Amino acid sequence: MKLHEYQSKALFAEHGIPIPRGRVASTSAEAKSIAQELGSRVVVKAQVLVGGRGKAGGVRLASSPDEAEDLATQILRMRIKDLPVRKVLVDEAVEPVTEIYLGVTNDRSANCPVIISSSEGGIEIEEVARKEPEKIVKIFVNPHLGLQEFQARNLVSAIELPRAHWRDFIRIARGLYDAYRATDATLAEINPLVITKDNRLLALDGKVVLDDNALFRHPNLEEMRDLDEEDPAEREARKYGLSYVKLDGDIGCMVNGAGLAMASMDVIKISGGEPANFLDIGGGASAEKVAAGMRIIIADPNVKVVLINVFGGITRCDEVARGILSALEEEKPDVPLIVRLVGTNEEEGQRLLSRANLITVSSLHQAAELAVATAKEKSAG
């Protein structure tokens, strides 16, 4: 789950990180009154859960409350990377002299949190990482010890931060690390962390991604979830307890068990195709869940064919077959469905499916080859 910038910054402030004064608004009139309250030039910022708002025109400076109102009207009408803007953050504008990057995430190969920083922060950080990787500094943190003083010092000196800012920067790095740990985040990022013209360090932008599997420990954070801003397919999947990840290919996949789902995607790829999604309907999946899964898959316009691979262990094949049938009744998909259904109650499942307009096969290999061939045929035609 991603937090909005205004939510991330509020979290940062709780951990002692300085942020600009400001508030979030849902209407342009509100934006105007916040600008009046702040009594300074302001920056009006689209609150959407994707990066690159600045480049998309979603971050604009206003020199008066009227201008803030105008800009808010414009920004609230925007869609950024296909997400609607429903809120804007109105912050006091500052004059950044230096833009620094500071982030914490998990390093899966090092098996520990890593603090990443660069003197070349701002909207081109991805470019910096690609072209000048030496400008990106990493400090691995032992989770039992936390960020050590010497490590923090190594970090500030590696990014060549002027000495006058060391103390504040180290306090901010600690605060960010604490915020990351306290919320079970998978990412906590300030980009840019700026040195202002009047020599203050301020977190100008914030991004926090929380670990969904740990959210049960943080009911207060769960409440911050912005349903409007989530991908409808992922929201629907969560509602039914399905694990769904959208991918770029054209072969929809519905599989029971994460391992089998991964294996199915591998076999599709080996057969020369590209999966459109990962979808695990789980063990003991009910007909209702299967129907929801089917709906989600065929709602993706890229999907040209659906491969259903079910190994009935706890999940009974007849139950899955009923789910597929009810989904077919409701949705009437116009893409071919290829089904491999084996295991518990297989005969009953097959018998139920024989009434429907499906292609049943007996091995995953066969299913994948056929799915790939079908997808290719449809792209050619």
Which parts of this chain interact with ligand GDP (CB under 6 A)? 43, 45, 51-54, 59, 61, 93-96, 99, 122-123, 191-192, 204-205
**Which partner in ligand GDP, Mn ion, none is near 343 (CB below 5 to 8 A by kind)?**
none
Interface region with Mn ion, contact rule CB under 5 A, candidates 42-50, 57-65, 204-212, 234-242: 204-212
Least distance in Å: CB of 165 to ligand GDP?
18
Which CB, 40 or 154, lies closer to ligand GDP? 40
Q: Which of 18, 16, 316, 331 is nearest to 196 (CA)?
A: 18
**CB atoms < 10 A from the CB of 244, how many?**
22
Which CB, 63 or 142, lies closer to ligand GDP? 63
Which CB, 199 or 363, lies closer to ligand GDP? 199
Of the residues 118, 191, 256, 271, which one makes contact with Mn ion according to CB under 5 A = 191
CA distances from 68 to 5, 87, 92, 282 (A): 18, 13, 11, 49
**Which partner in ligand GDP, Mn ion, none is near 99 (CB below 5 to 8 A by kind)?**
ligand GDP
Which CB, 32 or 53, lies closer to Mn ion? 53
Conformation bin of residue 115: beta by default, left when phi > 0, alpha when psi is -120 to 50: beta
| Cα–Cα distance for residue pair 161/169, rounded to 1 Å | 9
Least distance in Å: CB of 193 to ligand GDP?
10
Sorted by sequence, the CB contacts under 8 Å of residue 189 that are 6+ apart come out as 101, 102, 103, 104, 105, 206, 207, 208
Least distance in Å: CB of 46 to Mn ion?
12
Which CB, 95 or 223, lies closer to ligand GDP? 95
Sorted by sequence, the CB contacts under 8 Å of residue 379 that are 6+ apart come out as 250, 304
Least distance in Å: CB of 204 to Mn ion?
7
**Which partner in ligand GDP, Mn ion, none is near 93 (CB below 5 to 8 A by kind)?**
ligand GDP
Q: Are strands 305-312 and 243-246 parallel, antiparallel or unpaired?
A: unpaired
Q: Which of 74, 81, 89, 93 is nearest to 26 (CA)?
A: 89
Which CB, 16 or 52, lies closer to ligand GDP? 52
| Residue 150 buriedness (CB in 10 A; 0-12 / 13-18 / 19+) | exposed
**Which partner in Mn ion, ligand GDP, none is near 204 (CB below 5 to 8 A by kind)?**
ligand GDP
Q: Which of 295, 259, 261 is nearest to 275 (CA)?
A: 261
118 binds Mn ion (CB under 5 A): no
**Which partner in ligand GDP, Mn ion, none is near 52 (CB below 5 to 8 A by kind)?**
ligand GDP
Backbone φ, ψ for residue 344 (5° rounding)? -55, 125
Minimal CB distance residue for ligand GDP:
54
Minimal CB distance residue for Mn ion:
205
| Cα–Cα distance for residue pair 230/86, rounded to 1 Å | 12
Interface region with Mn ion, contact rule CB under 5 A, candidates 57-65, 162-170, 190-198, 286-294: 190-198
Binding positions for Mn ion, 320-359, rule CB under 5 A: none
Size of the site for Mn ion (CB under 5 A): 2
Tokens of 333: 């998909």
**Which partner in ligand GDP, Mn ion, none is near 275 (CB below 5 to 8 A by kind)?**
none
Evaluate whether 222 touches 215 at the Cβ level (below 8 Å).
Answer: yes
Evaluate whether 35 touches 62 at the Cβ level (below 8 Å).
Answer: yes
Evaluate whether 61 touches 95 at the Cβ level (below 8 Å).
Answer: no
Catalytic residue list: 101, 189
Of the residues 5, 205, 318, 319, which one makes contact with Mn ion according to CB under 5 A = 205
Binding region for Mn ion (CB under 5 A): 191, 205
